[in-house]
Amino acid sequence: MVAGLAIQVASLTAFTIIGVEFALRVYKNRNHLNPTHADIYKSQRFKLFLGGLTLATVCVFTRSVFRAAELSGGFAGHLANNEVSFMILDGAMIMIACGAFTLLHPGYCFTKAGWAAATYPFFNKNEEKIARNKARDERREVKQQAIIDAKEKRFNRGPKVVSLALAESGENTAHGSDGSLGASEEILQTVGGVQKAPHAQ
C-alpha cells in the first residue's frame, strides 16, 4: 500500500511540474496563441476551470502525501489513530476535489462552442433524444426486415406450383396423339413429386 501511494505521489508531482511548466510557456507566449479557440481560453468560465483543476490537484496531492505518511508508520502509528487529521487531510480533501470538478465541469467551462466540437450534446438535450430515437427506429427496421426475410424463406421452402402458363405450354391435351402423356401432365407430375410411368400404347 505504501509503495502504491508513493507511486501516486510521484505521478502527481510529475504532473504538477509539467503543468506549471506548460502554464509558464503559455503565459510567456500569450500574444501568439491560436485565435481559433480564443473564445474558450479568454472566457471567465475557462479560467474558473483552471482554478478548479489546480485546487483539485493540490487536494489530491495533499491526501496522497498524508496517506503515505500515515501508512508508513503502520496501523498502530500516531497518524493512523488520529481521527481529526484523517477527516481533514483525507476525507475533506477528496470532497473538495470532487466538488471542484463537479461545479466546474469542462462541459460548462469550455463554453457551448468549444464543447460542441467534441460532438457531445451537453447543452442541447434534444440532439441526444433525436439520436436515441433514430437508433431505436433503425433497430426496429432491422427487426422487421428480419421477420419479412424469415417469412419469405419459409414460403420458398413450401411446395412449388407450376404456373398455368407453363402447364398450358407445349401440348394442350393431356395425352398425345399416340396415347402417351402430354408435356403439361408430365411437368405437373414431376413437380408434384409423383413420377408416373407413361400409359402403355
> Backbone phi, then psi, for 192, in 5-degree steps?
-70, -5
Task: List Cβ neighbours of 201 (8 Å cut-off, separation of 6 or more).
Answer: 178, 179, 180
Domain boundaries, the chain: 2-123, 125-158, 159-201
Q: Residues 26, 20: contact at Cβ < 8 Å?
A: no
- C-alpha span between 167 and 102 (Å, rounded): 79
Least confident span in 29-33, 125-129, 185-189: 185-189
pTM of the model: 0.53
Question: What pLDDT score does 173 carry?
Answer: 46
> pLDDT for 111-156, tens place per residue?
665 565 555 555 555 666 667 778 888 888 888 888 888 887 777 7
| Of 167, 200, 160, 161, residue with least CA distance to 185 | 167
pLDDT at 67 over 60: yes
pLDDT at 43 over 70: yes
> pLDDT for 89-106, tens place per residue?
999 999 999 999 888 887
